């Protein structure tokens, strides 16, 4: 269980303050549902969280 690598994260958009839940191993980029700002970028097969992480969910 502790070796699990993937998590759901609650992130906060730096532009509009919207909070939404994203998967930290998303295969593609994730954008804010309100303003469209990138929250997760896809980089070489790995995802990079570019928003503020508010909470790690599991």
CB of 51 to Zn ion, least distance (A): 9
CB of 44 to Zn ion, least distance (A): 25
Distance, in Å, from the CA atom of 56 to the CA atom of 9, rounded to the nearest integer, reads 5
Q: Is 34 in the site for Zn ion (CB under 5 A)?
A: yes
Q: Is 20 in the site for Zn ion (CB under 5 A)?
A: no
Q: Is 41 in the site for Zn ion (CB under 5 A)?
A: no
Closest CA to 33 of 17, 50, 49: 17
Contacts of 53 (CB under 8 A, 6+ apart): 9, 10, 11, 12
Task: Using CB under 5 A, list all residues that contact Zn ion.
Answer: 13, 15-16, 18, 32, 34-35, 37
């Amino acid at each position: 269980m502790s070796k699990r690598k993937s998590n759901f994260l609650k992130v906060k958009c730096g532009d509009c303050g919207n909070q939404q839940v994203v998967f930290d191993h998303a295969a593609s980029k994730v954008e804010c549902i309100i303003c469209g700002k990138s929250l997760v970028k896809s980089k070489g097969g790995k995802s990079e969280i570019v928003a503020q992480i508010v909470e790690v969910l599991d």
